[in-house]
Amino acid sequence: MKHIKILGTGCAKCKQTEAVVKQVVEQMGIDAKIEKVEDIQKIMEYNVLSTPVLVIDEVIKVKGRVPMPDEVKKYFYNNPCNQHYYGNKTAIEICPTTTQGRVKAGALLVDVREKDEVAQLAFDVPEIINIPLSEFEDRYSELPKDRELVMVCRDGGRSLKTTYYLMNQGYENVMNMQHGLVRWVQRGFPTKGDTNSVLIKSESAGCCDTPNNDGSPCC
């Protein structure tokens, strides 16, 4: 039996990929189990940033696009591929308040939002580097391995992906800031630019709604 996984958080392309795979499996009469994987942590076990991802027998075949039916058919003929998933790891996540302390102690903030987002509203901290998610796989090596890295984005989702990605690349001192710039602004921490764009789109929430991974309170 073939074990097929479709990695993605439920976007239109993920659904299209699932439909294509199901169509091919039915047409070819393949004995297969198709599994949708939508949990970010489980997706990042495969060390990918772009979804959807098609995995067949734990080998990545397609990532970041919807495959054509004829392409999928070829993958059932034992074609070699050397891109396997990485081991299961759990990312460390901290809140903006804790991040403030980390930054004062020398941590480097890594903003993975796109350049137009940063131009509109940026974190105002002594040291920060912007590597957009769209460029991250090509540029992640610019980040030092001998410093503590705190990954940030708008709401914590994209930065969590890059946290797992770096862990799978051998970075041991990296963590994700939960709730992202949205919570940073809500807590009144320093920024440069128009905060209204973030506050208007976001629901009001207290910083301690979600505790840290170790169970300690956020603030």
Number of domains in the chain: 2
Give domain status of residue 194, yes or no: yes
The rounded distance, in Å, linking the Cα atoms of 110 and 126 is 12
Considering the domain architecture, whether residues 98 and 16 belong to the same structural domain is answered as: no
CATH value at residue 192: 3.40.250.10
Give domain status of residue 88, yes or no: no
Mean pLDDT estimate for the chain:
84
Six token digits for residue 27: 């047409």
- Do the beta carbons of residue 91 and residue 166 sit within 8 Å? no
Give domain status of residue 155, yes or no: yes
200 pLDDT band (50/70/90 cuts)? Answer: low
pLDDT digits (tens, 9 = 90+) for 108-123: 999 999 999 999 999 9
For position 205, what pLDDT does the model report? 40
Considering the domain architecture, whether residues 100 and 59 belong to the same structural domain is answered as: no
For position 21, what pLDDT does the model report? 94
pLDDT digits (tens, 9 = 90+) for 85-108: 345 567 889 999 999 988 988 999
Give domain status of residue 219, yes or no: no
pLDDT above 70 (res 214): no
Considering the domain architecture, whether residues 63 and 99 belong to the same structural domain is answered as: no
Give domain status of residue 183, yes or no: yes
Give domain status of residue 190, yes or no: yes
For position 217, what pLDDT does the model report? 42
Give domain status of residue 7, yes or no: yes
- What would the DSSP string read from start to end of the chain? -EEEEEE-SS-HHHHHHHHHHHHHHHHHT--EEEEEE--HHHHHTT---SS-EEEETTEEEEESSPPPHHHHHHTTS------BPPPP----EE-HHHHHHHHHTTPEEEE-S-HHHHHHEEE--SSEEE--GGGHHHHGGGS-SSS-EEEE-SSSHHHHHHHHHHHHTT--SEEEETTHHHHHHHTT--EEE-THHHHHHS----GGGS--TTS----
CATH value at residue 31: 3.40.30.10
For position 31, what pLDDT does the model report? 81
Catalytic residue chosen out of the listed positions 95, 153, 207, 218: 153
Lowest-pLDDT range of 1-5, 113-117, 138-142: 1-5
What residue numbers bound the domain in which 61 lies?
Answer: 2-74
Give domain status of residue 84, yes or no: no
95 carries an active-site annotation:
no
Considering the domain architecture, whether residues 124 and 193 belong to the same structural domain is answered as: yes
Considering the domain architecture, whether residues 33 and 123 belong to the same structural domain is answered as: no
Considering the domain architecture, whether residues 187 and 108 belong to the same structural domain is answered as: yes
